[in-house]
């Protein structure tokens, strides 16, 4: 079982993701976007500022050839996880619905947030309802047309919401103005997850939380069933 960690020009959380996965005993390989994506059981698209966020965050990376291979793996049911810039790349690739755009207050937000698990997905098969993870982004406001939002709820595609200490998705707990406090969204089949928070930045005690590990562990368990 091997996980590909994609690298584009400007990716910068690739090594952090790799370390977090290696800590959990997963076999990983860093894959440069010009290489062939072959022989992998899952993919993680890490955070960063691919292509300087030119045009729109994730827009350029989404149009690279390797993303076509990611699409094929997604169609095969393999798990694909996009974190932060990786989430933006997945939405720009139309692999998940909606889009992540400029924060309500147009500045970079870097802080710890509480996330309530909403939908079921191969990335969230752990027991805890709330996880603490950091966010670090300027374009993380989830935008989705109302009709599509309705479908997301009907199809259980809203995976995490930003919540307060009491687990409520209040406006003060919403760090970027995302529609309905949505922090992570999946495709219809649930094997592609786009999330703005960084699980790899909460993967060791030294970092302040190990809550992120449950997401990677869920992904690894799911791959073992395939």
Strand ranges (E), the chain: 2-7, 27-32, 42-45, 80-83, 99-101, 109-117, 130-137, 141-143, 158-163, 182-186, 192-195
**Phi, psi angle pair for 216, to nearest 5°:** -65, -40
CB atoms within 10 A of CB 223: 18
Give the interface segment with other proteins, choosing from 6-14, 92-100, 117-125, 158-166 (CB under 8 A): 92-100
- Taking the complex as a whole, the smallest distance from the CB of residue 83 to other proteins amounts, in Å, to 20
200 catalytic per annotation: yes
Select which of 35, 72, 84, 189 is catalytic.
Answer: 84
Please provide the DSSP assignment of 11-69 as one string.
B-SHHHHHHHHHHTT-EEEEEETTS---S-SEEEE--B-GGGG-SSTTHHHHTSHHHHH
CA–CA separation, 221 and 24 (whole Å):
11
Using rule CB under 8 A, residue 10 touches other proteins: no
- CA 170, distance to chain mean position in Å, is 22
**Phi, psi angle pair for 132, to nearest 5°:** -105, 120
Provide the mask over 170-199, with x wherever binding to other proteins is found by CB under 8 A and - wherever it is not: -------x----------------------
Select which of 13, 92, 137, 198 is catalytic.
Answer: 198
Give the interface segment with other proteins, choosing from 18-26, 55-63, 123-131, 154-162 (CB under 8 A): 55-63
Residues 115-154 that bind other proteins (CB under 8 A): 141, 143-145
Nearer to other proteins, 18 or 64 (CB): 64
84 catalytic per annotation: yes
**Helices 213-225/14-23 angle, 10° precision:** 70
For other proteins, the binding residue among 32, 105, 108, 153 (CB under 8 A) is: 105
CA–CA separation, 83 and 176 (whole Å):
16
Nearer to other proteins, 145 or 208 (CB): 145
Tokens of 76: 């095969």
For other proteins, the binding residue among 106, 110, 120, 221 (CB under 8 A) is: 106
Nearer to other proteins, 146 or 166 (CB): 146
- Taking the complex as a whole, the smallest distance from the CB of residue 177 to other proteins amounts, in Å, to 7
- Taking the complex as a whole, the smallest distance from the CB of residue 137 to other proteins amounts, in Å, to 14
Q: Which residues bind other proteins (CB under 8 A)?
A: 55-56, 59, 63, 92, 98-99, 101-106, 141, 143-145, 177
């Amino acid at each position: 079982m091997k996980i590909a960690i994609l690298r584009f020009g400007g990716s910068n959380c690739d090594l952090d993701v790799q370390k977090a996965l290696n800590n959990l005993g997963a076999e990983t390989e860093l894959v440069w976007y010009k290489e062939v994506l072959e022989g992998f059981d899952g993919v993680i698209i890490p955070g960063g500022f691919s292509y300087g966020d030119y045009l729109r965050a994730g827009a350029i990376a989404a149009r690279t050839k390797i993303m076509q291979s990611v699409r094929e793996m997604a169609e095969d049911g393999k798990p694909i996880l996009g974190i932060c810039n990786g989430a933006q790349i997945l939405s720009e690739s139309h692999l998940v619905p909606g889009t992540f755009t400029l924060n309500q207050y147009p500045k970079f937000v870097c802080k710890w947030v509480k996330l309530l698990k909403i939908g079921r997905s191969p990335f969230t098969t752990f027991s805890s309802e709330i996880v603490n993870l950091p966010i670090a982004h300027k374009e993380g406001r989830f935008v989705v047309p109302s009709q599509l939002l309705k479908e997301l709820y009907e199809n259980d595609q809203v995976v995490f919401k930003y919540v307060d200490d009491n687990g409520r998705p209040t406006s003060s707990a919403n760090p970027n103005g995302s529609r309905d406090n949505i922090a992570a969204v999946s495709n219809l089949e649930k094997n592609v997850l786009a999330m703005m928070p960084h699980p790899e930045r909460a993967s060791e005690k030294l970092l302040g939380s190990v809550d992120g590990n449950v997401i990677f562990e869920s992904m690894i368990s799911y791959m073992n069933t395939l």
